[in-house]
């Protein structure tokens, strides 16, 4: 394929058609990063985590957590939150309510994320009444 023929974008409808037999679960990834160093991040961390737990309890949060530096040795204040929402605008409204963003400690960007493939394994041991995620 020549550079003139290189496709750089595909309409969403084309992706949906190509993956019609897959899960096609629409979620939204909120990428968040510090605006002015780590001080404001730590100042808002407790309220942020309480907010996150509320999203989890209400069934809005799919997953969340810090993003390590590329060498996996430190945290520079970045994170990702994946939420269930009816639209990107609703996901933005959720992110705006986060005390970390409302205070200006972090900025965020929301990207729609379509889950098609993957797996989760849960092991439940009846005798000890414990479970493990694999």
Pairing type for strands 106-115 and 25-34 reads: antiparallel
CB distance 27 to 83 below 8 Å: yes
Question: What does the pLDDT look like over 25-73, one tens digit per residue?
Answer: 999 999 999 999 999 999 999 999 999 999 999 999 999 999 999 999 9
Name, in order, each residue with C-beta under 8 angstroms of 94's C-beta and a sequence gap of 6 or more.
30, 55, 60, 83, 85
Per-residue pLDDT at 1 exceeds 70: no
User: What share of the chain in percent tops pLDDT 90?
Assistant: 95
- The domain defined by 22-133 carries CATH number 3.40.190.10: no
What is the domain partition of the chain in residue ranges?
A: 22-133
Consecutive H or E run containing 87: none
- Residue corresponding to tokens 């974008």: 9
């Amino acid at each position: 394929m020549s550079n003139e023929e290189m496709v750089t974008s595909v309409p969403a409808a084309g992706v949906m058609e190509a993956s019609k037999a897959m899960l096609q679960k629409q979620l939204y990834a909120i990428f968040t990063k510090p605006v002015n160093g780590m001080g404001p991040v730590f100042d808002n961390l407790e309220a942020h985590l309480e907010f996150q737990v509320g999203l989890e309890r209400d069934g809005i949060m799919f997953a969340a957590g810090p993003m390590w530096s590329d060498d996996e040795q430190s945290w520079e204040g970045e994170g990702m939150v994946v939420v269930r929402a009816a639209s990107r605008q609703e996901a933005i409204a959720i992110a705006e309510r986060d005390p970390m963003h409302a205070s200006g400690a972090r900025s965020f960007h929301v990207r729609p994320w379509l889950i098609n493939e993957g797996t989760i394994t849960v092991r439940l041991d009846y005798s000890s009444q414990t479970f493990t995620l694999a």
